[in-house]
Structure 1
Amino acid sequence: MTDLCSEPIRLVGGASRCEGTLELKLGTWRPVKASGWTDQEAAAACRELDCGSVVSMGTRSDSSITPFWEIELSCLKSGYPLRQCASPSLLSSSSQSGTILELVCTDLLVQPIISVSSSDGVTGAMQSSSAGVFQGSSFTISCSIQPQYPGGSFQLSFTSSNTPHSYDQPASKHSAHFLFPAAEPAHRGNYSCVYNVHVFSHNFSSQSRVLTLRVSDPTVFIIRLVILLLSLLIFISVIYCSHKTTRGQQTVARRNVDVGDEVREVVEEQEEAAL
């Protein structure tokens, strides 16, 4: 369980630590302004609180002059924690009212798993936060979750060039597989799976971690591989020539030694004959 004494985020005023007004501490505790929030950002806050998934999200008006923390939502969607996406927001007069964010979270659902596989053999491990595929190859984004409740559905969301995309599939054996026939540059971006299920007369959802997908040009990879092989071939040739030259020099040296020995023997024989 998260230690609230050390974490800069909390829910206050609710019946449990997983419901109430969302507050953030950056020097001082302040409520979070609710402007523009959706279930996706609320799910990110619940995960950061170690409170599982979102049950409900609401707002509460405050007409007093209160400093708020305003959250840059695109920053939060990219996977950054709340404290890195916050900036101060101050209402200028008591005639204006601010909307404070209130959340009800639950640990009813576990976090779904997102992974990627492609026709060129590239597979993104479940623990990895990024993966790459080659342009033109087919790839599949898989969403799965541990069996807890029957049914449900998966929503695959990704943002590419600041353009959001979303696909839905019913859960089959607690998983769903989204096939993309050919990888294109437009498929670069951040992907996440959201599992939705209706149980106990409520709708519950849980979001996976963010997976960053890269799409690479295979031509560049081939050129780099050819350059690497040529460099390796040149290196082997240099080593071989160097070794061959060294062996030749050693052979010549041995021959010179043999000739020197023969000359010394002749001189010694002549000296003995003279005596």
Structure 2
Amino acid sequence: MEPVVRLVGGESRCAGDLELKHLREWRTLNHNALWNLKTAAVVCRELDCGSAVSVGEREVSSHRLVWDISLTCVQSGSALRNCAESFSTGQIVTLTCSDSVRLVNGTGLCSGRLEVNSDQSNPSWSSVCEADFDQQDAQVVCRQLGCGAPSVLQGALYGEGEAPMGTKEFQCGGHESALLDCSSASERNTCSPGTAVSLTCSEPVVRLVEGKSRCAGTLEVKQEGEWRPVWGYTSLSPYRFWTLKTAGVVCRVLYCGSAVSVGVRYVSSYRSVWGISPACVQSEPDLRECAEASAAAKFVTLTCSGKPISDTTNDIISHIF
């Protein structure tokens, strides 16, 4: 069957600007309230690209014709192309899927039976033997999926699926950015029934959204069960003191390397935010402990290098969050 969705312009076929073919024409999609990780997960599955890692918007230099997707239409169960209408915008949807790991049959985006794909050009997903997987491997998978630290590692918790065959024994140090970056031992021919790895990662409490990758975008923190963007204020000057040093704490928490830039994003009206003093971040790395309810029309934006720093600082911070 001819594909009707694709990702273009990214580092792989599983990342980039989202395009939809409708009325025989490929167009990018307008970024609207429909696009969250739950919606992105549907696209990633359709592309056989694993789990959704991030969804964002990209500003283009001038308005262009795109497809706009009706939220009501999608919620009714219709296919994306049946919900498309012509629209003109300068903001388009970008997606990143995990491409080599996914969690299936779980209760959310951060839980399920682990499956691995080692060939992006010809996807073939297989479970992993419990005996070939440990806590350090789990840390890498949870990080790759944009989730928090692993909390449960258990065989067959989310169903057995097909018996794992030809699986590798992964040997991760815990600091790698992707499971396939880890070294691996020789493959097993098969595993015993009931031993496929199931994994539950904790839900993240800090994230970067609406950027080109999970390591860039608007800073958000989850406090009291609610995600809000961050405004970094002090009593003297709101913004001036969010420096690269402060931003570096967030980048390390996300295993995104070092801070490259810190900026501000302006929006049209005041919104609920978490006010976070940079001074508090320096003394208390858990951003939740620094959050105060506030309202602002300016949000902190960060760009991290995206390359994990392999040192003990990352290991310490990963336990805090």
Structure possessing the higher radius of gyration over alpha carbons: 1
TM-score w.r.t. the length of structure 2 is 0.34
Q: Which has the higher contact order (CA 8 A, sep 6+)?
A: 1
TM-score w.r.t. the length of structure 1 is 0.39
